[in-house]
Amino acid sequence: MDYQTILYSTENGTATLTLSRPQTLNAFNDQMISEATDAFKQADRDASVRCITLTGAGRGFSSGQDLADTQNRDDGFSIGEHLRHGYHRLIKQMIKTEKPIIGAINGVAAGAGCGVALACDFRIASEKATFMLAFSKIGLIPDSGLNWMLPRLIGYARAYQMALTAEKLPASTALEWGLVNVVAPEVEFAAEVQKWATQFANGATRAFGLTKRSMYRSFDMDLDEALEYEAHIQDIA
Ligand code: T3D
């Protein structure tokens, strides 16, 4: 597939998807949303891919929705429809991809860029990375799954604080709050990502995928249902 807004490559069982609009800190335009969704689908289907890494080109991970694009919208434009046809498909594709997705957060992850970072399964942040719910600065509420994911990860108080302040959360605090799994100094960042990708790509891919499915499903279950679901999935594993 010939992508224009992302880079996609595979090597040694790992697919690397790089958001590549560095002049905008990798802001999402419609094409990038669609190409990223397609690339995750492709990685999910490719049996040789056992782990996926998502990162950003240049100094940002993603600055969220491309604000230049929002200037050209007609009066009747529905943001809700835009979300449904774009970001929702991307986030749902990431969650249903039954392979570990490493978010290699190289720089700022703002707005929907933060939502996409949180849809990854394992986050490695560069010391320079920051997380920011930029939405309230433009009168919006968090979207792209953030209202669902963020309180689950760090609790309501901290999640709501991030929404209210729209301040950049540094990588060190993100680690302390449980928003990321690992923080690496900038010079060691690439090697750290490579180390984890190799470990996951050499692991039990099917079990990793089924675990992801079971954990996400458990969010909607009581204990009895979750135990039963585990037993069912364990038979498959
Ligand atoms: O519309 C819908 O469908 C609803 C969906 C909403 C989802 C959302 O994501 S809403 C939130 C959108 N994102 C933002 O509001 C963040 C806007 N950006 C910023 O606040 C700052 O740029 C950052 C905090 C992310 C980074 O700041 P800094 O100082 O490191 O960089 P900078 O100088 O502000 O930006 C560098 C360049 O990237 C700059 O371009 P230039 O002047 O060098 O030509 C800037 O305009 C551009 N840029 C940054 N963010 C965006 C962007 N261009 C387009 N869209 C952006 N989101």
DSSP state for residue 6 in the 8-state scheme: E
Contact between 5 and 37 (Cβ < 8 Å):
no
Catalytic residue among 30, 44, 143, 235: 143
Structure confidence by residue, pLDDT tens digits, 26-69: 999 999 999 999 999 999 999 999 999 999 999 999 999 999 99
Average pLDDT, the chain: 97
Contact between 197 and 53 (Cβ < 8 Å):
yes
Catalytic status, residue 74: no
Q: pTM for the full model?
A: 0.97
CA 178 to ligand 1 centroid distance, Å: 25
CA distances from 106 to 25, 141, 174 (A): 11, 25, 13
What value does the mean pLDDT take over residues 78-105? 98
pLDDT at site 1: 75
Asked whether residue 208 carries a pLDDT value surpassing 80, the answer given is: yes
Catalytic residue among 30, 75, 88, 232: 88
Q: Is the CB of 140 under 6 A from ligand 1?
A: yes
Contacts of 157 by beta carbon, 8 Å cutoff, 6+ apart: none
In this structure, the residue with its CA closest to atom 25 of ligand 1 is 63
Catalytic status, residue 88: yes
